[in-house]
Amino acid sequence: MTILAYDLGASSGRALLGRLNGGKIEVEELHRFPNDPVQAGDRLHWDILRLLHELKQALLKAKHRGIKPSSIAIDSWAVDFGFIGANGELLGNPYHYRDRHTDGVMEQLIEELSATEIFARSGIQFLPFNTIYQLAALKRADSPLLREAKHFLMIPDLLRYFLTGDMYNEFSNATTTQLFNPVEGDWDEELLRAIGVPRELFGEIVQPGARVGKLRPSLCEELGIEPVDVYAAAEHDTGSAVAAVPALERSFAYLSCGTWSLMGTEVGEPVINELAQELNFTNEGGVYGTYRLLKNIMGLWILQECRRSWERAGNSYDFPELVKLAGEAKPFAAFIDPDDPVFLHPGDMPARITEYCERTGQEAPAGAGAVVRCVLESLALKYRYVLELTERLSGQTFSGLHMVGGGIQNILLCQWTANAIGKPVWAGPVEGSAIGNMAVQWIASGELADIWEARKAIRESFPVETYEPEGHEEWAEAYRIFRSTTNLAED
All structural domains of the chain: 2-231 (3.30.420.40), 245-428+449-491 (3.30.420.40)
SS3 of the chain: helix, strand, coil, percent, to 5: 45, 20, 35
Residues of the chain with pLDDT under 70: 489-491
- pLDDT score at 1: 87
The runs of H, that is alpha helices, within 204-348 are 217-223, 237-243, 274-278, 301-312, 319-328
- Asked if omega into 429 is within 30° of 0 (cis), the reply is yes
- pLDDT score at 491: 45
Say if strands 425-427 and 401-404 run parallel, antiparallel, or are unpaired.
parallel
3-state DSSP call for residue 8?
Answer: strand
- pLDDT score at 489: 65
Distance (Å, rounded) from C-alpha 232 to C-alpha 73?
A: 6
For residues 233 and 5, is the Cβ–Cβ distance under 8 A?
A: yes
Task: Give the residue among 146, 179, 149 at the shortest CA–CA distance from 167.
Answer: 149
pLDDT digit string, tens, across residues 318-366: 999 999 999 999 999 999 999 999 999 999 999 999 999 999 999 999 9
Count of Cβ atoms closer than 10 Å to residue 428 Cβ = 23
Say how many residues make up the chain. Answer: 491
For residues 5 and 434, is the Cβ–Cβ distance under 8 A?
A: yes
What type of residue sits at position 199? R
For residues 15 and 55, is the Cβ–Cβ distance under 8 A?
A: yes
- pLDDT score at 490: 55
Distance (Å, rounded) from C-alpha 409 to C-alpha 422?
A: 20
CB-count exposure of residue 327 (10 Å: 0-12, 13-18, 19+): middle
3-state DSSP call for residue 280?
Answer: coil
3-state DSSP call for residue 110?
Answer: helix
Show which residues are catalytic. 237
